[in-house]
Amino acid sequence: GARFVHVVYCFARYVMIEDMRKLSVGTGIPFAEAVKRRPKDMYVAKARHRVAYNKLLQILQREDFVMQEYGKKAR
């Protein structure tokens, strides 16, 4: 349900941030400050968040549908 999708989204975001942190080592980019910085336009930031969240939800729903179809055909 919605709670599971939220947990998966939070986990995916955490993994992405950790990956970016590892990739930014030695580049001279202060990663901690870049992540904690607040965007100038919060409306755009919230809209991007909603788009990413909805895209993840669509992907998970499509994957669930495909798995159910495979299950039906396997019987």
Q: Is the pTM of this model over 0.75?
A: no
The pair of structure tokens assigned to 5 is 């999708």
Main-chain phi, psi angles of 56, to 5 degrees: -60, -45
* Mean pLDDT of the chain, nearest integer: 80
Tokens 């919230």 -> residue = 46
* Domain residue limits, the chain: 2-74
First vs last Cα of the chain: how many Å apart? Answer: 26
Q: For residues 10 and 29, which has the higher predicted lDDT (pLDDT)?
A: 10
Q: Residue 59: its pLDDT value, please?
A: 87
57: amino acid identity, one letter: L
* Spatial distance between the Cα atoms of 72 and 75, rounded to a whole number of angstroms: 6
Residue 54 pLDDT level (bands cut at 50, 70, 90): confident
What is the rounded CA–CA span in Å between residue 64 and residue 61? Answer: 5
